[in-house]
Amino acid sequence: MFDLPVLPAPRHALAVQIAVEAGRQVHAAISRASIVKDEASREIVTEADQLAERMITEAVRHVFPDDAVLGEENGLSVGRSGYTWVIDPIDGTTNFANRIPAYCVSIGVLEDGRPHVGVAYDPTRDELFHAVCGHGAFRDDVRIYVRTVPLTEYSLFGYSSRFIGAAPPHILAMLERFDEYRNFGSAVLHLCYTACGWLAGAFADSTKLWDIAAGGLILQEAGGQIMDFSLDPLFPLAHDLSHYEKTFLPFVATGGCADLTPLCGIFGR
């Protein structure tokens, strides 16, 4: 286990423990990854997704039985504590299913709709990103910070999305405004890389809450911001958690730049 700073949130310690355990189990199974479901939505799910989410959920229910859980594979189970664990057992499932080493386990804990704990573990690099609200963001045991430079045509954005047919207008506009972007196949990693200052920002239009809950807090605690396509803050959530089981949650994220003018012609009201 990592030698990590002690942060004042008991759910942080559990989230780290089970994210790492699940991630290492997932990574050990990559050589035998197999697709078990491919619905009309063309979403890929593997047996490893299901096993990892089950393991994480059981651990949460054992330690915090009154907490709610919202998982990518099994939906929402209600609780009464005000805390909700938001789980993506493998963010980057397409990479995993094709044996491309770029994926992670993402666990966010919300308190009454606001991010409280965020943990993302990349087992391919044995790299842990984590944060507790009000106590900073870390890569392993090192405090991380966003890049505090203005957005220019040279700013590098992470982009993770999927669409069938023509690209949406905002994607074409981003490609025209900025010279390059990267798609690592994981919205969570894009958010964490922005938190580290490796990317200037990230955006996606087909993400769900479990793609954003952990990485969004990590980014915010590193000094960045995560917004909806109106460039308004994504958190606190505007709806009850049941709303997010099926609903996409598009986002635009940036590092430490205060001037969002370069994005206003693409996103914003």
Among 243, 244, 226, which residue's Cα sits nearest to residue 235?
A: 226
- Residues 42 and 71 placed together within one structural domain of the fold: yes
- Residues 56 and 173 placed together within one structural domain of the fold: no
Residue-wise pLDDT tens digits, 150-204: 999 999 999 987 776 677 888 888 888 888 889 999 999 999 999 999 999 999 9
Distances (CA, A) of 148 to 67, 140, 144, 200, 256: 37, 22, 12, 9, 4
Q: Is 207 exposed, middle or buried (0-12, 13-18, 19+ CB in 10 A)?
A: buried
Evaluate whether 45 touches 93 at the Cβ level (below 8 Å).
yes
Asked, for residue 1, whether it belongs to a domain, the answer is: no
Enclosing domain of residue 63: 10-143
Angle at 120 between CA 116 and CA 121, to 5 degrees: 145
Task: Give the largest Cα separation in the chain, rounded.
Answer: 50
- Residues 163 and 130 placed together within one structural domain of the fold: no
3-state helix, strand, coil in the chain (%, to 5): 30, 25, 45
Which of 143, 173, 192 delimits the end of a domain?
A: 143
Answering whether pTM is above 0.75, one says: yes
Percent of the chain with pLDDT over 70: 92
CA distance 247 to 10: 30
Residue-wise pLDDT tens digits, 61-79: 999 999 999 998 888 998 9
CA distance 87 to 90: 9
Q: How many domains does the chain have?
A: 2
Please name the residues in contact with 125: beta carbons below 8 A apart, sequence gap of 6 or more.
none
What single letter denotes the amino acid at residue 122? D
Residue-wise pLDDT tens digits, 115-138: 999 999 999 999 999 999 999 999
Give the residues across from 120 on adjacent strands.
106, 129
CATH number, residue 224: 3.40.190.80
Helices (H), the chain: 10-28, 47-63, 93-97, 169-177, 187-195, 213-221, 261-264
Asked, for residue 56, whether it belongs to a domain, the answer is: yes
Residue-wise pLDDT tens digits, 249-268: 999 999 988 788 889 888 86
